[in-house]
């Protein structure tokens, strides 16, 4: 997995590429832990995300809680969108 971080004021974008699975999720969790407490919007660009496991879903919940619900997922594939819908996360997390 590869994570690219960019910031624009209090808005942070994390571009996540590859597989978000048991081996890679700790890297995303570490990146979330490093986010400044003043971040009020987190955008996760999934244009390069190929696969997400249940551990990856857990990392999304952590991200959602970290930014107090101000989480947006962009460019998710139909497969990833289906996973989010099946788990009900699409009702909590804005997906564009």
* Domain housing 33: 2-95
Query: Tens digits of per-residue pLDDT, 4-48?
Result: 999 999 999 999 999 999 999 999 999 999 998 889 999 999 999
Write the DSSP assignment of the chain as a string of letters.
Answer: -EEEEEEETTEEEEEEEEEESTTTHHHHHHHHHTS-TT--EEEEEEEEEEEE-HHHHHHHHHHHHHTTT-EEEES--HHHHHHHHHHTGGGTSEE-
Residue-wise pLDDT for 45-68, tens only, equals 999 999 999 999 999 999 999 999
CATH number at residue 22: 3.30.750.24
Domain count for the chain, please give it.
1
**What is the model's pTM?**
0.93
């Amino acid at each position: 997995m590869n994570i690219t971080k960019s910031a624009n004021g209090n808005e942070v974008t994390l571009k996540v590429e590859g597989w978000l699975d048991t081996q890679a999720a700790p890297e995303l969790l570490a990146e979330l832990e490093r986010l400044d407490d003043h971040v009020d919007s987190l955008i996760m660009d999934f244009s390069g995300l190929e696969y997400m496991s249940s551990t990856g879903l857990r990392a999304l919940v952590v991200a959602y809680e970290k930014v107090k619900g101000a989480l947006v997922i962009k460019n998710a594939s139909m497969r990833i969108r289906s996973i989010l819908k099946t788990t009900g996360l699409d009702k909590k997390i804005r997906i564009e």
